[in-house]
Amino acid sequence: MCMILGLTGGIATGKSTVTGMLRERGIPVIDADQIAREVVEPGKPAYEAIVRHFGRDILLEDGEINRKKLGEIVFSDEAERQKLNAIVHPEVRRVMREEAEAAEANGADIVFMDIPLLFESKLQYMVEKIVLVYAPADMQLARMMERDELEEEQAHKRLKAQFPIDQKKKDADFLIDNSTTREETERQVEKLLAELRAELKS
């Protein structure tokens, strides 16, 4: 029996800190963003479909997709953005399921799927429980401005593109509050894993 959990957060809530802690403890974490990059590599089915739809103009000289160029197209045209998502998302979900099955076959009892836009993309059905890495919105804003050297207005825009963190908080099964110290976050990760293991035994 293997439990599949969704791990999500918001921009600059510190989700990568938590994934690092889970991996240090030998817990498999399947990274949706990483897989999304892999499925559009040359030769992959999603790559072929993207080139068929968007044309060869979006390719770099070496045949890789020019992300900047593709980004400009899809962020200025909602229909094109949806078309891209319709190509990429099913592939990402398929690979994530395969990786989860492989982890279970290797004896993992707990597997995390790291899905940044879990709620926004309505992917709750892919996981049994949802763990939210939380930091209050004002802290997200301050961290983003510092980390990405953004003006406040730019940071606000990015924050607005995601569901509000407090809305996600209501819909999550577990919360890891990453607004204080690293040690405190680590303590919460330990507590969460203990709870999950106890649940698996019961």
Q: Which residues fall in the annotated binding site?
A: 12-17
Cβ count within 10 A of residue 192 = 19
State how far the Cα of 9 lies from the Cα of 118, in Å rounded to an integer.
Answer: 9
Q: Which region holds residue 139: left if phi is over 0, alpha if psi is between -120 and 50, else beta?
A: alpha
Q: Which residues carry a binding-site annotation for ATP?
A: 12-17
C-beta separation of 22 from 189 below 8 A? yes
Residues counted in the chain = 202
User: DSSP per residue over 86-125, as a string?
Assistant: HHHHHHHHHHHHHHHHHHHHTT-SEEEEE-TTTTTTT-GG
